[in-house]
């Protein structure tokens, strides 16, 4: 079993791809939603829009999941927190 695993690994490393790194496999560059769409205006009074940036537990998604740039991720975070404050989004679900 262990031998087989090692063999597979060896084969993968020798398949001609010198820079093969499983960490960066099939990673597509995400572009910031707010940077690409100029008409998209974050509104803390619009929970339907902000629901895209939270998970089913009500937590704010990390940047690697939203794909937003640092500036806009900050804006998203503030908008979600404001929305929670006025009770239009949950702080926590379940
Ligand atoms: Zn952006």
> Domain containing 58 — which CATH number?
4.10.640.10
Does 80 map to a domain? yes
Nearest to 13 by CA among 26, 4, 22: 22
Q: For residue 22, tell me if it sits in a domain.
A: no
10-19, 27-36, 38-47: lowest mean pLDDT where? 10-19
Q: Is 51 exposed, middle or buried (0-12, 13-18, 19+ CB in 10 A)?
A: middle
Q: Cα of 31 to ligand 1 centre, how many Å? A: 8
Range of the domain at 47: 29-85
Distance 70 CA to ligand 1 centre (A): 7
Ligand 1 center from residue 33 Cα (angstroms): 6
Domain membership of residue 64 (yes or no) is: yes
Residue 42 forms part of a structural domain: yes
- Gap from CA of 39 to ligand 1 centroid (Å): 13
Kindly give the distance from the C-alpha atom of residue 28 to the centroid of ligand 1, in angstroms, as a whole number: 17
Report the number of distinct structural domains present in the chain.
1
C-alpha–C-alpha distance, residues 61 and 75, integer Å: 13
Give the distance (Å) from ligand 1 centre to CA of residue 72. 5
pLDDT tens-digit series, residues 43-88: 999 999 999 999 999 999 999 999 999 999 999 999 999 999 999 9
pLDDT of residue 6: 53
């Amino acid at each position: 079993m262990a031998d087989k695993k090692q063999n597979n690994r060896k084969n993968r490393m020798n398949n001609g791809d010198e820079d093969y790194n499983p960490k960066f496999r099939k990673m597509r560059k995400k572009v910031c939603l707010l940077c690409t769409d100029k008409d998209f205006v974050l509104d803390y009074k619009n929970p339907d829009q902000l629901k895209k940036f939270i998970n089913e537990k009500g937590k704010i998604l990390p940047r690697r999941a939203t794909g937003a740039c640092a500036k806009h991720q900050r804006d998203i975070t503030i908008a979600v927190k404001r929305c929670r404050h006025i009770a239009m989004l949950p702080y926590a679900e379940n």
